[in-house]
Amino acid sequence: MKFVCYKDTIIKALNSVVKGVASKTTMPILEGILIQTNEGEIKLTTYDLEIGIEYTMKCDIKEHGSTVVNATMFTEIIRKLPDSEINISVNENNLLIIECEGALYKLATMNPDEFPDLPKIEVENSIELEQGTLKNMIRKTIFAVSSDENRPIFSGCLFEIKDNKLNVVAIDGFRLALRKINLPVAVNDFKAVIPAKTLNEVIKILEDSFEMIKIGISKNQALFEMENCKIVTRILEGEFLNYNSVIPDNWQTRVRVNRTDLQNSFERISLISSSAIEKEKKYPVRVTVDIGKMIISCTNQTGDAKEEVFITTEGKYLEAGFNPKYFLDCLKAIDDEEIFVEFGSNISPCLVKSVENNDYVYMILPIRLKNE
Amino acid sequence: MKFVCYKDTIIKALNSVVKGVASKTTMPILEGILIQTNEGEIKLTTYDLEIGIEYTMKCDIKEHGSTVVNATMFTEIIRKLPDSEINISVNENNLLIIECEGALYKLATMNPDEFPDLPKIEVENSIELEQGTLKNMIRKTIFAVSSDENRPIFSGCLFEIKDNKLNVVAIDGFRLALRKINLPVAVNDFKAVIPAKTLNEVIKILEDSFEMIKIGISKNQALFEMENCKIVTRILEGEFLNYNSVIPDNWQTRVRVNRTDLQNSFERISLISSSAIEKEKKYPVRVTVDIGKMIISCTNQTGDAKEEVFITTEGKYLEAGFNPKYFLDCLKAIDDEEIFVEFGSNISPCLVKSVENNDYVYMILPIRLKNE
């Protein structure tokens, strides 16, 4: 194997595939990158048995072949080379040779035949959308995924295609995040729950661009396909919550508020509420909605805190307890400046929505206040 | 106690004094900031029994008094307040009240009488220099300080005033860093070894400016005095090495090289040399100096590496072993682009100097190569 490439091209490829390298594994081959030559291009593959990533890049092939090299060491060396032409080859002792200006590195390799095959995917359903849109949809929901290992189905985001809409939903039992878009072309209804672990890697590879990405779903796998890069992942088994049935469709108290003001107040009050020695969940903050103002307060052994936020109020006076972290997570994910917060009673979920868009909804369950 | 201040003023003060807050202590009072009012100003003090920091800031005093409040909580809340006027007071229940726009915080306080006094310093000798200069002198030497607890005297930097020069020296048994300047006015000769821990905090407070700082030395303490801020620290006891006697004054091989080129080569080769399972010290890199080129190489179970750097050579052919980390630390601290590296034999120390300036010298001891 022998090829010539430029540093910036191969670094872009490596930055994408390293996301699929196994970090803690008893199989050293999974810590490697499989390098294979084709006509006028090389293919780099990583696979940690959950996520597989393939990246194809054009380069000048001098001699065909394949090898596996430790991903971290290879990437670190390439990253530190000068911005120049790099010669990469495998010698007769099966060492990978990297040559670039005055630098010459020889790295141990592994047998490419031992690298596990990525699962073959027979795509049954697929959609196409812009990379920037998908990145935004994941970013706005993934924080609400459950970390409870007893309910694995909620450790992923539901991708639901229904009536030519894509809904991405995450839920953890205390809150829900829903982001929706209309699809430009008619597609079959289908759904799949994709592990948050995969999506976390996918958003690092996605660009904020109008370039397209295709999401294909088979029985057990999902495939993300971009121009040079393919990502394969298992999908989660089980029945996701019928989320529509839990989102309330009316309110008794509605607040219109500046998102940044509300976020700053929750951030400050979290300093006090999360300083309690006992679990923060047990020390909710008290949210009081009155005419023209929302008061957020809490008291514990560290001190007292009270935040007054100017709002426009519709409906009834309300007092309820909330975990400020859940508010903060969704407020940070919202780009719009003016939002509605809709409350039912002090034991029913509250919704956070944009004043202008209806492409996302966050739902947060209240926590019973101690003196209730 | 009651005063009014602006967020940006008090944040600047807090950012300086928090460096003196104890992090792991059984005395909660040392995790606090002592706040005391004076005429038209407040004084903030922190003291972890090694480093004490005092900061005085002008503000509008409404009522005199003093208190101690947890430094982290107080600073975090102030940091997150809007950029506005802040009212701070202590109420009848000894709670510290922070009021700013819609935010109202009440924090538990501690008894200011229990806050330990900073050591009184009777300055015997002192010098004045620009903050930016002192910052540069510390930054260029502190990395060579020893972490060996059995030789506490080398865990600090020597400040030596001699013949109207200031020399700052750090040494750890394997390398030495020396930075020197001429003092503009005549001062008495004196010396003191200041703990690296203190200097690390001092450089965070120093600004890259022409504003002056005064360093005063008493028998056991040093005092850094800036316009609003005073830092008190103990000095280390014991005899520092007579460093002049160990720095060689001639060479057998001298190399003139571009610092960035040499640094990049050492950075890449460190990836291989430090990947060895055994201690990196035992796997030195081999430095070979020939006519017009320096070759840096190493071999271990990860692979082989060879770096060729263009140089101008004077004197003899040389081959010696070095820990690349020691080269990297000093090359990173140097700003000049053209440097000399001066070698004696393969068992005598090498010197790194600027081609143009003589205000610093680094000395690195070689390591015996395995096949020697």
The answer on pLDDT for A295 being more than 50 is: yes
Whether residue B153 contacts residue B238, with contact meaning beta carbons closer than 8 Å, is answered with yes
Partner B contacted by A2 (CB < 8 A): no
> Based on C-alpha coordinates, what's the Rg of chain A?
25
**Chain B interface test: which of A69, A81, A106 (most B C-beta within 10 Å):** A106
Chain-chain contact of A307 with B76 (C-beta, under 8 angstroms)? no
Chain-chain contact of B77 with A107 (C-beta, under 8 angstroms)? no
| Percent of residues, chain A, with pLDDT higher than 70 | 97
Which pLDDT band, with edges at 50, 70 and 90, does A350 fall under?
very high
Whether residue B263 contacts residue B249, with contact meaning beta carbons closer than 8 Å, is answered with no
Chain-chain contact of A272 with B105 (C-beta, under 8 angstroms)? yes
pLDDT given at position A24? 83
Residue B106: closest C-alpha in chain A: A304
Nearest-angstrom CA–CA distance, A229 and A237: 26
How many residue contacts between A and B have a Cβ separation below 8 Å? 96
Whether residue A167 contacts residue A347, with contact meaning beta carbons closer than 8 Å, is answered with no
Residue B102: closest C-alpha in chain A: A308
pTM: 0.89
Residue B307: closest C-alpha in chain A: A103
Whether residue A17 contacts residue A45, with contact meaning beta carbons closer than 8 Å, is answered with yes
Distances from the Cα of B365 to the Cα of A267, B175, B351, angstroms:
52, 6, 9
Partner A contacted by B306 (CB < 8 A): yes
Nearest-angstrom CA–CA distance, A274 and A280: 5
Nearest-angstrom CA–CA distance, B89 and B39: 16
> Based on C-alpha coordinates, what's the Rg of chain B?
25
Chain-chain contact of B303 with A76 (C-beta, under 8 angstroms)? no
With H, G, I as helix, E, B as strand and everything else as coil, classify residue A6. strand
HEC per residue, chain B: CEEEEEHHHHHHHHHHHHHHCCCCCCCHHHHEEEEEEECCEEEEEEECCCEEEEEEEECEEEECCEEEEEHHHHHHHHHHCCCCEEEEEECCCCEEEEEECCEEEEEEEECHHHCCCCCCCCCCEEEEEEHHHHHHHHHCCHHHCCCCCCCHHHHEEEEEEECCEEEEEEECCCEEEEEEEECCCCCCCEEEEEEHHHHHHHHHHCCCCCCEEEEEECCCEEEEECCCEEEEEECECCCCCCHHHCCCCCCCEEEEEEHHHHHHHHHHHHHHHCCCCCCHHHCCEEEEEECCEEEEEEEECCEEEEEEEECEEEECCEEEEECHHHHHHHHHHCCCCEEEEEECCCCCCEEEEECCCCCEEEEECCECCCCC
Type of residue at A288: T
Which residues are CB-contacts of A205 (< 8 A; sequence separation ≥ 6)?
A16, A19, A53, A226, A229, A231
Residue A265: closest C-alpha in chain B: B103
Q: What's the half-sphere exposure (Cβ side, CA atoms, 13 Å) at B283?
A: 21
The answer on pLDDT for A367 being more than 70 is: yes
Instruction: State whether ipTM is beyond 0.90.
Output: no
Which pLDDT band, with edges at 50, 70 and 90, does B372 fall under?
low
What are residue B290's DSSP bridge partners? B293
Tell me which chain B residues have a C-beta less than 8 angstroms from the C-beta of A304: 95, 104-106
Residue B70: closest C-alpha in chain A: A302
The secondary structure of A288-322 as a DSSP string is EEETTEEEEEEEETTEEEEEEEE-EEEE--EEEEE
Which pLDDT band, with edges at 50, 70 and 90, does B282 fall under?
low
pLDDT tens-digit profile of A58-113?
999 999 999 999 999 999 999 999 999 999 999 999 999 999 999 999 999 999 99
Which pLDDT band, with edges at 50, 70 and 90, does B280 fall under?
very low
- How many angstroms separate the CA of residue A165 from the nearest CA in chain B? 40
pLDDT tens-digit profile of A217-252?
999 999 999 999 999 999 999 999 999 999 999 999
- How many angstroms separate the CA of residue B324 from the nearest CA in chain A? 15
Which pLDDT band, with edges at 50, 70 and 90, does A275 fall under?
confident
Give me the mean pLDDT over the B17-32 stretch: 90
| Structural domains of chain A ordered from first start | 2-114 (3.10.150.10), 125-245 (3.10.150.10), 248-364 (3.10.150.10)
Chain-chain contact of B108 with A307 (C-beta, under 8 angstroms)? no
The residue among B204, B127, B120 whose CA lies nearest residue B159 is B127
Nearest-angstrom CA–CA distance, A333 and A257: 16
Partner A contacted by B51 (CB < 8 A): no
pLDDT tens-digit profile of A200-221?
999 999 999 999 999 999 999 9
The residue among A29, A24, A38, A50 whose CA lies nearest residue A114 is A29
- How many angstroms separate the CA of residue B94 from the nearest CA in chain A? 11
Residue B275: closest C-alpha in chain A: A73
Chain-chain contact of A272 with B302 (C-beta, under 8 angstroms)? no
What are B140's two structure tokens?
């260029």
Nearest-angstrom CA–CA distance, A105 and B341: 25
Nearest-angstrom CA–CA distance, B124 and B105: 45
Which residues are CB-contacts of B173 (< 8 A; sequence separation ≥ 6)?
B146, B148, B151, B154
Chain-chain contact of A73 with B271 (C-beta, under 8 angstroms)? yes
Partner A contacted by B123 (CB < 8 A): no
Chain-chain contact of B308 with A103 (C-beta, under 8 angstroms)? yes
Which one of A76, A104, A307 has the shortest CB-CB distance to B103? A307
Partner B contacted by A77 (CB < 8 A): yes
Residue A10 DSSP code: H
**What does residue B152 show for φ and ψ, rounded to 5 degrees?**
-55, -30
**Chain B interface test: which of A268, A274, A285 (most B C-beta within 10 Å):** A268
